[in-house]
Amino acid sequence: MTSEIIDLRSDTATKPTAGMRRAIFEAEVGDDSLGEDPTVNHLEEIVCELLGKEAAVFNCSGTQSNQMAIRAHCDQGDEFLINETGHIVNYEAGGAAALSGVSARILRGEGGLLDIADLEGTVRPKKMNYCVTRLVCVENTTNHGGGRAWPLEQMNRVATWAHQEGLKVHVDGARLFNACVAKNYSAREFVAQADSVSLCFSKGLGCPMGSMLAGDAATMHRARRARKLFGGALRQAGMMAAAAIYALEHHISRLTEDHNNARFFAEQLAGIQGITIDLEIVESNIVFFEIDPKYGSSSQLCEQLMARNVKVGPFGPQRLRACTHLDVTREQIQHAAMAVRECVKEGSAQTGRVAQFAGSY
Ligand SMILES: Cc1ncc(COP(=O)(O)O)c(C=O)c1O
């Protein structure tokens, strides 16, 4: 058994590489809240160019970028449309309501995506007793939707519909580059019709922290004010911006490796009796799977795997998630898949014992 921990709970588990640490060490810095950090300014320019947007604001986290976008697009009492699996509505501590007085209209859509059929009829009439529907939030890739990558045509269809309805479009692109690699489009193409887009540097790109929000200058001006209001104005943040620049230069094309590892892991799991997995939806670095209750629960399986130095996350009584990333090799993935096989077998033996025992009463 390997003695090293194989952490598949999230792609946020990555630690900065030697090259990234060197870039951090050598970064030129200044006071970003005064607009004087040259490395942050340089990163913001790079991202504007990459995404084809007028302005960008560097932030601590993806959550902060998303919440700044909500604040910048909406007034108190407005609502936004989002898939029921969306990070913004499920995992940001109720930020839209708490920080901006904005509510979410939760929609069903396959795999965390949305299409016209899901959206049509959701815009509220402009009458005194309704809140104002203001914004559509798109997540690419969809995290809890299964790591699905939006088809480009679907994004353009949804954005065109939104604009016709007078709505803005925000892209939560925490893993946008995973989607780009999976679907073979550029980030610029994907967000061409988006009014704002957030990126995360701390996930598949391997940085210790950092996120960017980009959009038109007026919206980013409001977002920058929101950043200050939310306590997120930065000082000598160039050290983290240097990590992000390093990641954009070195860690995008290698995401293919993570996707190949995820597919390999998913295929291994598909061959294990007691595990259910939909191989069709494994498009990026995220693998959701389920354990049959006869073989134990998700938390039992996590515990058993931990005893074999493999960490995965439980997401529901039977559902689990594994993410591949920069810090896991193919060999480790092979070990993790083998560990799942052994644990499920062990779980079946245990539940078998329980059943036998219960049957003896
Ligand atoms: C889709 C998505 N959006 C936003 C975030 C928030 O990022 P952070 O953890 O940097 O706040 C995450 C984090 O996992 C995410 O998966």
What pTM was computed for the model? 0.95
Domain extent, residue 76, equals 17-250
148 domain residue, yes or no: yes
Token pair listed for 206: 């391997």
pLDDT attached to residue 300: 95
- Please indicate, yes or no, whether residues 112 and 242 belong to a single structural domain of this protein: yes
pLDDT attached to residue 346: 86
Number of domains in the chain: 2
- Please indicate, yes or no, whether residues 239 and 330 belong to a single structural domain of this protein: no
One-letter identity of residue 358: A
Distance 202 CA to ligand 1 centre (A): 9
Inter-residue contact 303 to 333 (CB < 8 Å) = no
- Please indicate, yes or no, whether residues 72 and 29 belong to a single structural domain of this protein: yes
pLDDT attached to residue 1: 59
- Please indicate, yes or no, whether residues 290 and 229 belong to a single structural domain of this protein: no
pLDDT attached to residue 75: 98
- Please indicate, yes or no, whether residues 58 and 142 belong to a single structural domain of this protein: yes
**pLDDT beneath 70: ranges in the chain:** 1-2, 348-349, 351-361
Token pair listed for 339: 């560990």
- Please indicate, yes or no, whether residues 233 and 133 belong to a single structural domain of this protein: yes
CATH number for position 321: 3.90.1150.10
- Please indicate, yes or no, whether residues 73 and 181 belong to a single structural domain of this protein: yes
List pocket residues of ligand 1, CB cut-off 6 Å: 61-63, 66, 87, 139, 143, 172, 174, 200, 202, 211
CATH number for position 29: 3.40.640.10
Ligand 1: which of 91, 150, 230, 323 to mutate, most ligand atoms within 8 Å of CB? 91
- Please indicate, yes or no, whether residues 244 and 96 belong to a single structural domain of this protein: yes
68 domain residue, yes or no: yes
- Which is nearest to 82 in space by CA: 129, 133, 124, 132? 133
5 domain residue, yes or no: no
Closest CA to ligand 1's atom 5? 62
- What strands, in cross-sheet order, belong to the sheet with 132-139? 55-59, 211-215, 196-200, 168-173, 132-139, 78-83, 103-107
Q: What is the DSSP letter of 132?
A: E
- Closest atom of ligand 1 to 139 CA is 1
Backbone angles phi, psi at 148, to 5 degrees: -75, 145
- Please indicate, yes or no, whether residues 177 and 213 belong to a single structural domain of this protein: yes
HSE-up (13 A, CA, CB side) for residue 351: 15
CA separation for the pair 76, 160 (Å, rounded): 25
Domain boundary among 230, 250, 270: 250
- Please indicate, yes or no, whether residues 287 and 185 belong to a single structural domain of this protein: no
Backbone angles phi, psi at 48, to 5 degrees: -55, -45
Distance 211 CA to ligand 1 centre (A): 9
Domain boundary among 187, 216, 250: 250
pLDDT attached to residue 25: 98
One-letter identity of residue 248: L
- Please indicate, yes or no, whether residues 57 and 69 belong to a single structural domain of this protein: yes
pLDDT attached to residue 355: 33
- Please indicate, yes or no, whether residues 96 and 238 belong to a single structural domain of this protein: yes
